[in-house]
Every structure is written in C-alpha cells, then in structure tokens.
Chains A and B, each alone.
Chain A
Amino acid sequence: MGIDRRGLLKAAGLSLLGLTAGPAWYVLSRAKLPEHPPQPGMLAEKKWGMVIDLNKCWREDGCRDCIDACHSVHNVPHLGNPKDEIKWIWTARYERVFPEHEHEFGQEALSDRPVPVLCNQCDNPPCIKYCPTRATWRREDGIVMMDYHRCIGCRYCMAGCPYGSRSFNWKNPRPFIKKVNFDFPTRTKGVVEKCNFCQERLVHGLLPACVEACKEKALVFGDLSDPNSEVREILRSHKAIRRQPELGTKPKVFYVV
C-alpha cells in the first residue's frame, strides 16, 4: 500500500472531477428546443379592466349567474364548508367591500346590499411581492397570473392580499367538482388559486365567463389602454370607485354605485 498523502489527494480530486463529467455532459449536450416566435396581439398590447355597475347588478335579487358561470368554467369546487371555501368571484356586503364609504348615518338599505367581488388584478399587486417561487406575477397585459405548477402553498400571497381574493386548497378539490370542464385544469391540494380574468378565454377572443353570463350587462370588460373602449367610456361618464384606493394597489376592477 504505497500511497502517500499527495497521491491520495490527487486521486480523490480526479475522482470528484470524474463525478461531475456526467451531469456536465448532459447539460451541454441537450438538444436545442425549437423557438417560438411571439405572436402579435397576445400580450402587452392591452390593459384589461372591468367595471361593475351595481345599480344594474341589484335589479335582480339573489342572482348568482356570474358566480355559477365562473365556477363551472374554472372547475372551482363546492366544498360546502365556509372554512375551506374556494372562491373566484363571490358577493360581500357593501359595508365590508367599501368600509371607507360607510358611516353610521348611511343608507341602511345600501350597507346590506351584496356586491360582487373578485380579484382586483391590481396594477401594483401586493400579493406578488411575497411569493417566494414567483408562482404569481403580473403579466404584461396587467393580469395577475397564478402558475399552479410552481405554487408551494406557503400562503404568503393570501396574507399579502388586502381583499381576500385568494383561496387555498386544504383538500383535493377533484371530488367536489360536480362537472369537470376539460378545457381548464383542476387544482390540487396545497395550491392557492384566484380569479385569472379568464385569460384562457381572452386568447380565444372570448369575454370572461362572468361578463358573458350577466343578463343585466352589469359587468363590462375591456381594454383600459384604449380611450374608445366601453370601459373607458363608462369611467368617463360615471363616478366609479375602487376598493380601498388608499392602499395604493391600483385595482383594475371599478364599481359604479
């Protein structure tokens, strides 16, 4: 056994180098995947926004058309237990949605009215700043997206959202979906989800499901960067408010009261 310290160190070093050869070869020899040229008219050309006219929305009591449409298109489970509830669009009482507009002498009828609420698709979204895996981010067209593949379920984004727009899957949602829409994935246990402004419908030139389902046309969707769009027209001619503007999140969902 004639091996000295120097010889051992040399052999050990060479062996270590040998171990790295395989992975290095794998990385360097990978075939280049075909490139996808960007297609025009997809992202970055729009800034999507929504206006909800509450006077039209309140014409029919107890209407759930927008909620049912959204939840069936996006495979949102109905778990029956408010603690586990998953919601993309839902209703909350006026005084909860607009606390800053409330005062003790306000109209009683108003404070109890149901206001449809959804992810505000903020222009300055606080939720994305907390995500450690960048599973949620703001797209160039302003939609705050979720990548369910990357979500690790830490729920920091839920703590960051001042509007409570995000829900967490405490259990496997599959068994609680009545009829699965095969064009949209379901989610899995341990993933956060929220409204995505129907980005999967927008690419096919369809309006969001909630907007399409509203009989009273209370929900109007469009391009905020286009001065001639319907949303901009309504925002010009009506007084519209946003939820908690003092937080500086710049919501892109507006309410006409």
Chain B
Amino acid sequence: MYDSGKIIAGLVVFGCVVTSPIWYNALTGKTGYIPEPKIVTQEKKCIEPKEYIRTKHKDLLKDWRESVVRDGMRTYIASDKKRYTMSLTRTCMKCHSNKLDEFCLRCHNYLGVRNNCWDCHAYPKGI
C-alpha cells in the first residue's frame, strides 16, 4: 500500500474531528449525567405504566392525533380500562404543565430531539 503512513494518520485526525463533539461533551460533563424529568402533580399514576410511556409516548401521541383528527374519536381507553380524553393540552398537560424546562425538554434537549408540537398547540401558562 502506498503512503500508508499518511493515510492512517489522516484517518486518525478525521476520526478525532468527527467525534470531537462527543469528547467535548464527555469532558465538560454536559452528557455525563442522566436527565431527570420532574413531575409536579397530585395524580398518583400516569394513564399507562411508566415503562410503556417512557418508550412509547411518541407512538401514543401519534395514535391520539390520528384518532382525533382523522377518525373523530376522542376517548382513549387505557390498559386498565379507564377512559381519558385524547388531548395533549388538556390531558397530558394537566399533570405535566411544567413542560418547558422541567419535563419534556429535559430529555428532549439531552437527546437533541426537537419537535414542533408547541408551534400550534397552545396552553395557558401555569395550568
């Protein structure tokens, strides 16, 4: 192989540059923690088990959206047969009203997830 020294050195430099954000965050401690979303509510439990909500809340919200907008069905029957109104602002935000910095965004910012729910869905401050 010709110029193997240069090529390998180049690859090493390239690898360092590409992964530099990871190193930067690891060394400055920006990602060296586990985000802890804070829940401020009187309710004892969420509409579905915690594990399900943690991994599938996006599927649930998409399902609600399709159900309400496309099929006109607004009542959600949870796995424990309890009934809830499918509403982001009225049902979810009733408990998770501290969405901005303390609940949704704690994890979303940590993972670099950005969604545009709040461009349209408005909710009163401090419900």
A residues near B (Cβ < 8 Å) are: 30-31, 33-34, 36-39, 42-43, 75, 139, 141, 145, 147-149, 174, 180, 182-183, 185-188, 199, 203
Contacts and interface: CB of A to CB of B under 8 A. Distances in A.
B69 A188 contact: no
Interface stretch (B37-45, B57-65, B100-108): B57-65
Nearest to A147: B69
A34 B76 CA distance: 9
A75 B77 CA distance: 30
Contacts of A147: 69-70
Contacts of A183: 89-90
B73 A36 contact: yes
Contacts of B21: none
Contact of B74 (A33, A185, A186, A203): A203
B122 A186 contact: yes
B32 interface: no
Interface of B: 52, 56, 59-60, 63, 65, 67, 69-79, 89-90, 116, 119-124
A38 B74 CA distance: 10
Contacts, number: 55
A144 B4 CA distance: 66
Contact of A149 (B65, B74, B78): B65
B71 to A, nearest CB: 7
B120 A185 contact: yes
A168 B122 CA distance: 20
Contact of B123 (A37, A182, A188, A199): A182
B77 A34 contact: yes
A36 B56 contact: no
A43 B90 contact: no
Contacts of B89: 182-183
Contacts of A148: 120
Given A183-B90, A188-B116, A199-B72, A36 B67 contact: yes
A182 B124 contact: yes
Nearest to A150: B69
Nearest to A145: B69
Contacts of A186: 120, 122
A92 B46 CA distance: 50
A34 B63 CA distance: 10
Contacts of B123: 182
A141 B72 CA distance: 10
Given A31-B56, A188-B116, 6 more contacts: A30-B59, A36-B76, A36-B77, A42-B72, A42-B73, A148-B120
